[in-house]
């Protein structure tokens, strides 16, 4: 059993704007072979030709999720 805490990084230890942007500031995993769920932001802007901008969606979701806070 791992003793590594699971959850967002503490904002008092590392500022919200620092580090690699991940969803909800969760740790970034390189090895996902044993993961049950993987969330991957895929920028795709070819769905419409008259209104581009969907490619910015995944980055903005990660940016907005930096403000999430743990609660009891």
Q: What is the pLDDT of residue 24?
A: 74
Q: How many domains does the chain have?
A: 1
Q: Record the pTM.
A: 0.51
Instruction: Walk along the chain (72 residues) in steps of 10 and give the mean pLDDT of each run.
Output: 63 72 76 79 72 76 76 64
Ramachandran category for residue 25: left, alpha or beta (phi over 0 → left; psi -120 to 50 → alpha)? left
Distance, in Å, from the CA atom of 23 to the CA atom of 10, rounded to the nearest integer, reads: 14
Instruction: Name the residue range of residue 62's domain.
Output: 1-72
pLDDT score for 72: 61
DSSP states along 15-60 = -TTSS---GGGPPP-S--TT-S----------S-SSS--GGGHHHH
| Pairwise CA distance, residues 10 & 16, whole Å | 9
């Amino acid at each position: 059993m791992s003793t590594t805490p699971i959850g967002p990084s503490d904002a008092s230890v590392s500022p919200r704007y620092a580090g690699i942007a991940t969803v909800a500031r969760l740790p970034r995993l390189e090895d996902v072979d044993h993961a049950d769920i993987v969330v991957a932001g895929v920028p795709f802007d070819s769905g419409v030709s008259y209104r581009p901008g969907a490619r910015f969606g995944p980055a903005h979701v990660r940016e907005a999720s930096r403000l999430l806070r743990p609660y009891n």
